[in-house]
Structure 1
């Protein structure tokens, strides 16, 4: 059995790129002959957006031979209560309709509910879901909530705060071989605990600038490890350009030269992250002036581009005798003792100490 897993599209009437991402996902499901497409929450950004545009889903799913399961998330929880029709092969998961059997696979789902938002209530409802599992078939849990783990930051999720929070260790004692989840936006994330997999699909289209990099969906062939599939949806990509106070080139010229090396695809919105330091006195440029010029150059290069300006003007240090002595000593260190990157970091420490 093949399942295509995604979540967090946050469809709105004014975001055509998100609707295009949904069509790409449906086409990817067809190409891979999946049996089921699961959307683990926040298909719509709000109930209001859903009411204005849900008819479009019927057309998108009308030619699909596979089944689609839609799990309510914290953004669109209330929309599905009205019992609206989304297509013949589309099932909205509710508390009363959350156990499904597809051949040799059992799928159990937990629709998002605000009353489950505490950790205590979430654990209770997950243990209840575990009572429906089979001891002769693989079991899959669909979930929309926040996994508590040290490697996830609050900004990685749709919102700050706790939305059905759960610890990964809870799943180790349960009878689910796969947990397919939504609510985590940043990227597709596959965690393995013993012989179980917890998978966040990530948003399949950049919703905000924090979702950077090509977007993906999860293709699961039951009995095997989850597999990442790239889709050609809209995304933000970060390109770092590092300035150095020791560069002979004008920072504007350096930026212009760097731009020539980038091949930006049409579905990408580039974010040029400008880091490091420059000698404003030497080049007669303040931080504001340089930022303005780089913003203009970036827009001329690509109308969708943005500049994230983090560089500092250290012109006042360039003639500081103490700094010149430090720089001279660092430069004399043998490359075998300290490589160029380590030298750069050492100089950065001195710069930050002196400014």
Structure 2
């Protein structure tokens, strides 16, 4: 059996790009002769979007010769069940605490999103599961600290000890920003990430996963969603007397960024000798010339006049100590110290 695993599609009525990318994935499933198309939660951005798009999505599902296995996520929790028709080839895994099925000898178990701990949902789960599908936050120390600020992490906590040996492959959904692949004993665990760059945290290329189950053999491969652009983040810190140089650096970054696959997200912080308005106007004018090249882009300019930081006595003493340095060394010192001053004094 061949399965395709994706999650966090977050289809929206007013976002044609997400629908386009999802339709591209359906075409890929047909080309690859996939038997089951797994969606590990949050097919829709909201229950309202699910209501508005259900007929469109049903037609899309019916156009593909495979079975769709879908669990609800926290965004579309109330959009699935016996009262909702997504087509004859769609299996909605909505039974709580888990929903077990078997297809062509492959044992599959879905854990729909629930407002409880994952450990409570799997207490009586069957053994020898091949594919487990779930939607929640995996607290693995190898990556979780990078996403702790995201409010999404509060949903349905999952711990590595819950997954070791629970299945041969765990198809997770909920974390959008990037593809994550982990191994706990004999259990392979994957977050594919959203196939679309649904926010600026989606800074890597977009992927889905292909799982090939042949008896005791299980092979997993990562496949690029090559029509989906992703965000590229870049921070610039400016300080007095390098304003022109910094504008050139920002312009070079925009000029060199591939407009077909990436979307720039720029943050400019720091202090300027020129007036705040003048510097911001120059940066914004330059940015406007480039932003139309990209499918989307953003810039945040958070700079202040040099006068603000020079009112601080600690900075005044520091500046007097650096006056004897040559210009190049002094500039290097400023590159290191001014971001620190910025954090301390704000």
TM-score range, shorter chain: 0.7 to 0.9
1:112 equivalent in structure 2:
113
Q: Residue 29 in 1 paired to residue 29 in 2?
A: yes
Report deviation, 1:10. 1.6
Please give the residue correspondences for 1:81-160 in structure 2 after superposition, counting only pairs within 5 Å. 81-95=81-95, 98-113=99-114, 117-119=115-117, 122-129=118-125, 131=126, 133-134=127-128, 139-150=130-141, 151-153=143-145, 159-160=151-152
Match of 2:157 in 1: 165
Structure 1 residue aligned with 2:185: 194
For 1:261, the equivalent position in structure 2 comes to: 256
Q: Greater shift after overlay, 94-103 or 155-164?
A: 155-164
Deviations 1:171-212 (A, max 9, x none): 22x431111111111111111112211211211112222222
TM-score of the superposed pair, with normalisation by structure 1: 0.79
Report which stretch shifted further, 82-91 or 39-48. Answer: 82-91
Q: Corresponding residue for 1:326? A: 322
Q: 1:19 to 1:100 in 2, by over 3 A?
A: same
1:13 counterpart residue number = 13
Q: Contact 1:21–1:234 (CA<8 Å) still a contact in 2? A: no
Q: What displacement does 1:353 show?
A: 7.1
Q: Does 1:309 align with 2:301?
A: yes
Could you tell me whether the CA contact under 8 Å between 1:241 and 1:258 is conserved in 2? no
Cα distance in 1 between the residues matched to 2:333 and 2:106: 53
- 2:134 and 2:149 map into 1 onto residues whose CA distance is 14
Aligned pairs for 1:34-45 (under 5 A) are 34-45=34-45
In the other structure, the counterpart of 2:222 is 228
* Residue 271 of structure 2 corresponds to residue 274 of structure 1: no
- Is the CA contact 1:154–1:160 (under 8 Å) kept in the aligned structure 2? no
Partner Cα distance (2:46, 2:243) in 1: 52
Q: What runs of 5+ residues in structure 1 fail to find an aligned partner? A: 334-339
3-state SS of 1:80 partner: coil
Higher strand proportion: 2
Distance 1:191 1:35, change over 3 A: same
User: Which of 270, 275, 296 is the equivalent residue of 2:285?
Assistant: 296
1:102 CA drift (Å): 3.0
SS in 2 for 1:79: coil
Does the alignment pair 1:216 with 2:214?
no
Give, in whole Å, the separation in 2 of the partners of 1:157 and 1:350. 24
Once residues 165 and 344 of structure 1 are traced to their aligned partners in structure 2, the CA distance between those partners, rounded to angstroms, is 41
Give me the whole-angstrom Cα distance separating, in 2, the residues matched to 1:167 and 1:292.
49
Query: 1: CA distance between counterparts of 2:149 and 2:320?
Result: 46
Distance 1:124 1:192 in 2: 22
Tell me how far apart the structure 2 counterparts of residues 351 and 159 of structure 1 sit (CA, whole Å): 26
Determine the C-alpha separation between the residues in 1 that align with 2:332 and 2:65: 54
- TM-score, reference length from structure 2: 0.81
Change (3 A) 1:103 1:157: farther
Give structure 1 regions of 4+ aligned residues with deviation exceeding 6 angstroms. 330-333, 340-343, 350-355
Structure 2 residue runs of 5 or longer lacking an equivalent are none
Q: Structure 1 residue 237 and structure 2 residue 232: aligned?
A: yes
Q: Is the 8 A contact 1:144 1:183 kept in 2?
A: yes
Q: Please give the root-mean-square deviation of Cα atoms over the aligned residues, in Å.
A: 3.4
CA apart distance, 1:107: 1.0
Count of residue correspondences: 332
